[in-house]
């Protein structure tokens, strides 16, 4: 697990992991990865907005917005996976990390979509996007429900 370590922080069981409570639940790598991806997405979007300022470079701005969009999509995916991990294994504390990763990623997605013009495209074709968005969500829910039923019967 990567992160910032301060002097005087106790090590848990000598394995290099540090936490707030000895013996308490440790967040999974997927939840931390989702938060990191959300932070990177917001950083890239903010940096892209800075390129529209004094040293205007449209190509760099769009490249950074696309990178922010990709990082945000990865963050949403990892946040979803982390939230399902927490439901399957109560010993894992994913709650705030998965939620913060999803919130940051969605914020970066909205900023990136707005400044690249993708937001206008989505609004114009809203009826089509509702169908395209609902179909994968329905498939995702059926996959999760099937996995939950298999876990209950085992």
DSSP character string of 83-96: HHHHHH-TTB--HH
pLDDT-based confidence at 9, cuts 50/70/90? very low
Percent of the chain past pLDDT 90, that is, above it, reads: 19
User: Whole-model pTM?
Assistant: 0.64
Mean pLDDT over all residues of the chain? Answer: 78
pLDDT tens profile 65-84: 899 999 999 999 998 888 88
Distance CA 23, CA 91 (A): 11
pLDDT tens profile 43-62: 999 988 888 777 777 888 88
- Tokens representing residue 91 in the block: 């010993």
């Amino acid at each position: 697990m990567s992160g910032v370590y301060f002097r005087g922080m106790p090590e848990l069981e000598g394995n290099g992991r540090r936490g707030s409570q000895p013996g308490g639940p440790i967040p999974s790598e997927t939840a931390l990865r989702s938060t990191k991806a959300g932070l990177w997405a917001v950083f890239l979007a903010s940096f892209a907005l800075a390129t529209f300022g004094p040293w205007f470079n449209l190509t760099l701005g769009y490249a950074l917005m696309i990178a922010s969009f990709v990082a945000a999509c990865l963050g949403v995916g990892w946040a979803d996976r982390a939230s399902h991990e927490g439901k399957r294994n109560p010993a894992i504390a994913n709650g705030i990390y998965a939620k913060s990763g999803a919130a940051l990623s969605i914020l970066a997605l909205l900023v990136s979509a707005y400044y690249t013009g993708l937001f206008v495209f989505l609004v114009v074709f809203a009826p089509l996007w509702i169908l395209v968005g609902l179909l994968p969500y329905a498939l995702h829910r059926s996959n999760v429900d099937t996995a939950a039923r298999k876990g209950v019967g085992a």
